């Protein structure tokens, strides 16, 4: 299981009524809990460059989300992969581990699970770090204004995505890592982490699961955002918006501005020199910003 990516961390299977999940867990048992949620198309391994340092001050849980890595990938429609359902699963997992109130840092799809959890169950999250995303509703508004932007959102939500990706999944997913990284290469990624990603990419049930994840983003997740925005619901805990400087289009509106006018009016923001994969491309700056916020 490439344990050397997470020195001192235990491997843990967590059984819940919704299925079986995998996590790496490290840090003092008495320390404040911190949940790290990865994004697409990665697994818990994306945190390997910052998790050991975070575990000096926190009980760190690096979880494989449903449909990714070694966690369950059940057959289901978009609803099963909605961020509201996935957030409820995260709560059940953390409760099984003895944590009812915890900090959360999420990247990409994991960040979407994180902010949905913070909106739906405001008492759960102590502090929230969102890495390199816009609210789902805002993202779709931008895509509709510029159909060529973030074309993978439309493609992955389409009904023929699984078959297309399945013809050569490694080439497809590695292409995304290259395109979204600052260097436009695989150089930022540890070969051991890439090995874990490829294991997941080659599995048909996980290809399907990631597509269901994006289908939920186009339907259930967008609707949930629209309803919360209309009702004036906002995130009550402290929020850090952490962005790279080359992935999101921030020419018309910064990511922080998008969040403060929608769901996180009190958020603070930091930008680091990075493509989309902040924790792997610039772990030092990502760690510095995150630890400063988590300790404040």
Catalytic residue among 44, 107, 220, 276: 276
CA-CA distances (angstroms) from residue 66 to 21, 22, 88? 7, 9, 12
- Active site includes 99? no
Residue 59 is encoded by which pair of tokens? Answer: 């009980």
Tokens for 143? 């895509």
The answer to whether 108 is a known catalytic residue is yes
* Spatial separation of the C-alpha atoms in residues 288 and 290, rounded to whole Å: 6
Query: What's the rounded Cα separation, in Å, for the pair 158 and 176?
Result: 17
With tokens 């260097």, the residue in question is 183
- Of 64, 108, 132, 225, which residue is the catalytic one? 108
Q: Which active-site residues does the annotation give? A: 108, 276
């Amino acid at each position: 299981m490439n344990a050397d990516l997470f020195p001192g961390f235990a491997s843990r299977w967590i059984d819940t009524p919704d299925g079986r999940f995998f996590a790496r867990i490290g840090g003092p048992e008495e320390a404040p809990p911190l949940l790290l949620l990865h994004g697409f198309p990665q697994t818990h391994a994306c945190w390997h460059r910052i998790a050991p340092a975070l575990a000096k001050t926190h009980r760190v849980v690096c979880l494989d989300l449903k449909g990714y890595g070694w966690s369950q990938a059940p057959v289901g429609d978009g609803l099963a992969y909605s961020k509201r359902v996935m957030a409820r699963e995260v709560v059940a997992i953390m409760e099984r581990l003895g944590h009812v109130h915890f900090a959360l840092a999420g990247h990409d799809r994991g960040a979407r699970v994180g902010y949905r959890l913070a909106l739906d169950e405001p008492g759960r999250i102590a502090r929230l770090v969102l890495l390199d995303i816009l609210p789902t509703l805002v993202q779709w508004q931008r895509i509709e204004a510029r159909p060529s932007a973030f074309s993978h959102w439309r493609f992955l939500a389409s009904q023929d995505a699984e078959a297309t990706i399945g013809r050569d999944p490694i080439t497809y997913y590695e292409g995304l890592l290259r395109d979204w990284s600052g260097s436009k290469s695989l150089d930022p990624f540890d070969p051991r982490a890439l090995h874990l990603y490829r294991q997941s990419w080659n599995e048909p049930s996980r290809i399907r699961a990631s597509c269901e994840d994006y289908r939920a983003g186009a339907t259930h997740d967008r609707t949930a955002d629209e309803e919360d925005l209309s009702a004036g619901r906002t995130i009550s805990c402290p929020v850090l918006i952490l962005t790279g400087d080359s992935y999101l289009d921030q020419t018309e509106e910064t990511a922080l501005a998008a969040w403060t006018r929608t769901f996180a009016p009190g958020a603070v923001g930091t930008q680091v020199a990075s493509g989309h994969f902040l924790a792997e491309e610039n772990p030092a700056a990502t760690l510095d910003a995150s630890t400063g916020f988590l300790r404040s």
